[in-house]
Chains A and B, each alone.
Chain A
Amino acid sequence: MNIIVCIKQVPDTTTKVRVGKDGKHIDPGGVKFIVNTYDDFAVEEAIRLKERFGGEVTVISMGPERVKEALRMCLAMGADKAIQLWDPAFEDSDPYTTALILSKAIQQLPYDIIFCGKQAIDRDTMSVPVYLAELLGLPQATLVVKLEVDPNARKFIAYRDIEGAKEVIEGLLPAVISTQWKLNEPRYPTLPNIMKAKKKELKELNAAALGLDSAQVGEKGSRVKVLSMELPPPRSKGKILKGDPREVCRELVRLLREEAKVI
């Protein structure tokens, strides 16, 4: 099987995020970047399919030089090839243009199945996999917690947890699958595989190589623009009521009703 995984490099969850000077981006200084948590499940599922049915896993990421580190991590986990998509024109791409850029790269490759994490933990839009399936004209299953693939019948069965129920859907391959955290337990890369990762192919493609012109991508091509970004206000201090328990209770109820407006 030819398996493609789209991954994003995002700030580590333990990083203290600061807003950059322009008020529209996070300040990358001092930020530790990791492979998006949900993409780990996508990479793991892809490698398991390859181990089962044979074939090749290609990981793709759109992003600047630093995303190579994330791609190498996926190669170390067991992916075979990596492609970095970058061009200064890609800067500030929204989910739609990101999916467009990914789709152009994928159209140059043979593929039977495409995996994405269900969402990136930085922007949380959950939309790239959906756009991607649309742009490629493929069936899709999102937030998948269990997956069965039959490469001969060219079919998949995907299990989804929906509000109060489980949903089972069947579809034809090729398809786009977005992965939810219950799907599997991502492996740690082994030390020998980390050493081998450096020798694996890591290709770079720019806008021209993808047949995209700069008006289609980046901020220009985007449907959604970030106007401003700010940190949530710091939590205000709590209140401690002191005195006679009965009066404190009365005061508490009054505050809950009138100030906090929760009862």
Chain B
Amino acid sequence: MKIDFFNTESLLSEEEILIRNTIRKFVDERVIPIIGDHFEKGTFPMDLIPDLAKLGVFGANLQGYECAGLNNVAYGLIMQELERGDSGLRSFVSVQSALVMYAIYTYGSQEQKEKWLPSMARGEKFGCFGLTEPDYGSNPAGMQARAVKDGKFYILNGTKRWITNGSIADVAIIWAKLNGQIRGFLVEKGTPGLTVLEMKKKLSLRASITSELILEDCRIPEENLLPKTEGLKSALSCLTQARYGIAWGAVGSAMACYEEALNYAKTRIQFDKPIASFQLIQEKLVFMLTEITKAQLMCLQLGRLKDKGEMDYTQVSMAKLNNVHMALEIAREARDILGANGISLEYSAIRHMNNLESVKTYEGTENMHKLILGQKITGIPAFN
């Protein structure tokens, strides 16, 4: 498996290549054979988690606290390979690493870091990230969730919906307004007043758990406030981390779809010829490879900028927007090339295609990233 038309591998270090190859092998051997069934049943492959933790993927780009301390390119390559398996698996790792561990690492107290980060890196504890509400998705600034101080406690009220890993999380990072300012709070599983419901009937990201979290006079100790959070920008900085991983992950989905479509086109005979011999099919394959190649180069440069501390969140917006868009187009074309087989979970195209519909929406919809970039280049915000 090597889709690398511009030899981007020559731009990677020996360690980056070894890391990618290790995760690639894991995904080929452990994920791809089983993931279609999980998607069909709507279950998450939880038994992969101890081994993923042993490899060191959780919080892999954080330093200390038993994290692997990788650079951001290596981290991106991990995301690419995981999503080549399934967007649900990549989402699990993104939430744990880029949203939850990053938030605690960046905005937590020393005690919070010591309590959560090593056990999360070891895959013993899991977290979820509760920002979205039923009535506030693209516009989280309007959120209704509230926290009120009561002696040595905070009392939380509100509803968070579409929360990945909510039902299996040991701790939820809940974003809520305290005296009008958005802050992050750690709400542990089993806290009275916290109800978690698993959301069903999804036709996308089926191999991933999505939940609704209801907080009714949920009382948490005051030390569970993430002390360094200050306003929506703290939550958004976590999203930037996750979006960075998604930009890479989408390339993985696209690679899986392209590879499947190419193999299929070369072996499927119609009108006495492989369908790959028809110009209309070749045009699609060329489109796919060209888009993947552009996205690979974009990710790599984005990662190098991030490693130098020079990455801007609007660059992440462009990469997330472009790469998820192209991956979804490629998945649809791949599904088409596979004909009737394209709608079957025996193949991966439709699974990736359906998954990418979620990936397009979460972590900032395609529209929102266009508005972010529009504001960046014109100086005029067009959100409302």
Contact = CB atoms under 8 A, between A and B. Distances in A.
**Chains A and B belong together in one complex:** yes
Interface of A: 14, 32, 69, 72-73, 76, 188-192, 194-195, 197-198
Nearest to A77: B22
Contact of B18 (A14, A32, A192, A197): A197
B25 A198 contact: no
B310 interface: no
Nearest to A198: B15
Nearest to B13: A198
Nearest to B51: A188
Given A14-B1, A189-B22, A69 B56 contact: no
A14 B56 CA distance: 27
Contact of B14 (A14, A32, A69, A188): A69
A245 to B, nearest CB: 26
A41 to B, nearest CB: 15
Interface of B: 1-2, 14-15, 17-19, 21-22, 25-26, 51, 54-57, 60, 68-70, 74, 78
Contacts of A189: 18, 22
Contacts of B70: 191, 195
A31 to B, nearest CB: 10
Contacts of A188: 22, 25-26, 51, 54-55
A72 B22 CA distance: 12
Contacts of A197: 15, 18
Nearest to A76: B18
A227 B160 CA distance: 71
6 contacts: A14-B1, A69-B18, A73-B18, A191-B22, A191-B74, A194-B19
A74 to B, nearest CB: 11
Contacts of B54: 188, 190
B56 A192 contact: yes
A190 B55 CA distance: 4
B73 to A, nearest CB: 13
A63 B170 CA distance: 50
Nearest to A75: B18
Given A14-B1, A32-B2, A191 B57 contact: yes
Contacts of B25: 188
A51 B19 CA distance: 23
A140 to B, nearest CB: 30
A194 B15 contact: yes
Contact of B56 (A32, A191, A198): A191
B56 A190 contact: yes
Contacts of A195: 15, 68-70
A192 B54 CA distance: 10
B26 to A, nearest CB: 6
A46 to B, nearest CB: 19
Contacts of A69: 14, 17-18
A165 to B, nearest CB: 31
Given A72-B14, A188-B55, A194 B22 contact: yes
Given A32-B2, A69-B18, A195-B69, 18 more contacts: A14-B1, A69-B14, A69-B17, A72-B14, A76-B18, A188-B22, A188-B51, A188-B54, A190-B54, A191-B68, A191-B74, A192-B68, A194-B18, A194-B22, A195-B70, A197-B15, A198-B14, A198-B15
A14 B2 CA distance: 11
| Interface-central residue, A76, A189, A194, A197, by most chain B CB under 10 Å | A194
A32 B1 CA distance: 9
| Interface-central residue, A14, A32, A195, A198, by most chain B CB under 10 Å | A195
A194 B54 CA distance: 13
Nearest to A30: B2
Q: Which 9 A-B pairs have the closest CB atoms?
A: A191-B56, A191-B68, A192-B68, A190-B56, A194-B18, A192-B56, A190-B55, A194-B19, A188-B22
Contacts of B2: 32
Contacts of B14: 69, 72, 198
Contact of B60 (A73, A191, A198): A191
A48 to B, nearest CB: 15
A84 to B, nearest CB: 14
Nearest to A193: B56
Nearest to A15: B2
A262 to B, nearest CB: 28
A76 B68 CA distance: 13
A194 B13 CA distance: 12
A190 B53 CA distance: 9
Contacts of B55: 188, 190-191
A194 B57 CA distance: 12
Contacts of B22: 76, 188-189, 191, 194
A12 B55 CA distance: 22
Contacts of B78: 191
Contact of A191 (B1, B17, B19, B51): B19
Contacts of A190: 54-56, 68
Contacts of B68: 190-192, 195
Nearest to A14: B1
Contacts of A191: 19, 22, 55-57, 60, 68, 70, 74, 78
Contacts of B15: 194-195, 197-198
Nearest to B54: A190
